[in-house]
Amino acid sequence: EPEVTQTPSHQVTQMGQEVILRCVPISNHLYFYWYRQILGQKVEFLVSFYNNEISEKSEIFDDQFSVERPDGSNFTLKIRSTKLEDSAMYFCASSLETEVEAFFGQGTRLTVV
Amino acid sequence: KQEVTQIPAALSVPEGENLVLNCSFTDSAIYNLQWFRQDPGKGLTSLLLIQSSQREQTSGRLNASLDKSSGRSTLYIAASQPGDSATYLCAVRLYNQGGKLIFGQGTELSVKP
């Protein structure tokens, strides 16, 4: 069964460093998303991406964040200068269209120290 | 602003019991609602997607209902098993927002053998 895969599963980084979280969405999907979940809190939407453009983003997704689809298979989330409060589980998701079922990856646990 | 709430926050039942998890949302103008399962430290597994025009959706021992006008959905789990122990999340999808999902905080279910 096709699945969304994320790497790495866990990343530890020092405050102020740049991190890139990687995702391989399901191959025929056209819409891609990033969400995050701070420990003990709700899953929060960060950004949606379609046709090489951001289609929707949340207030959390400020200038420190960027997304890219560098080739036909990968979808990345970059955090330019990490803060302690960026520590969270980051989930990538993909869907065929915006209004149908979204499938999530297993997540990358980001720890900023 | 759409808010999604899940009650109870935690539930412990003996194996074999039928149970109901509740989800409520403040704005009835949703496109659809998706139920997920999350195992500790893991990703989100999609369980059921119920469209705003549907009243219910079934998959195996799971049945999700939706009453859009009252802003409520329930997830019914029949004949619960220890393997059902997980956190169950509901999320609503709004119109014209790039497929963004708004999540509740989840119900942590424990099924005791």
What is the arithmetic mean of pLDDT over B4-10?
95
C-alpha dihedral sign at B51, B57, B62, B65: positive
Structure token digits, residue A2:
């096709």
From the list B49, B99, B104, the residue facing A31 with the nearest CB is B99
Residue A37's pLDDT is: 95
| Interface probe with A: pick from B44, B48, B50, B93, most Cβ of A within 10 Å | B44
Nearest CA in chain B to A49: B98
pLDDT interval class at B19 (50, 70, 90): very high
* Shortest Cα–Cα distance, B88 to chain A (Å): 12
Residue A59's φ and ψ, nearest 5 degrees, are -65, -25
* Shortest Cα–Cα distance, B45 to chain A (Å): 7
d(C-alpha B98, C-alpha B9), whole Å: 29
Residue B1 confidence (pLDDT) above 90: no
Q: Which residues pair with B93 in a beta bridge?
A: B32, B101
pLDDT interval class at B102 (50, 70, 90): very high
Residue B98 confidence (pLDDT) above 90: no
Which segments within B1-113 are labelled E, that is strand?
4-7, 10-14, 19-25, 30-38, 44-51, 56-59, 62-67, 72-77, 86-94, 101-103, 107-112
CA-based max dimension of chain B: 45
DSSP code, position A72: S
3-state secondary structure of A84: helix
What is the arithmetic mean of pLDDT over B80-84?
97
Question: Do A96 and A30 contact (CB within 8 A), yes or no?
Answer: yes
β-strands B56-59, B62-67: how paired? Answer: antiparallel
From the list B34, B43, B105, the residue facing A105 with the nearest CB is B43
* Shortest Cα–Cα distance, A15 to chain B (Å): 23
Scored b (16 or more CB within 10 A) or e, B47-85 reads bbbbbbeeeebeeeebbbbbebeebebbbebeebeeebb
Using 70 as the pLDDT threshold, list the residues of chain A that sit under it: none
d(C-alpha B76, C-alpha B87), whole Å: 14
Residue B10's φ and ψ, nearest 5 degrees, are -145, 150
- Which residues between 59 and 88 in chain A have a beta carbon less than 8 angstroms from any beta carbon of chain B? none
Residue A105's pLDDT is: 95
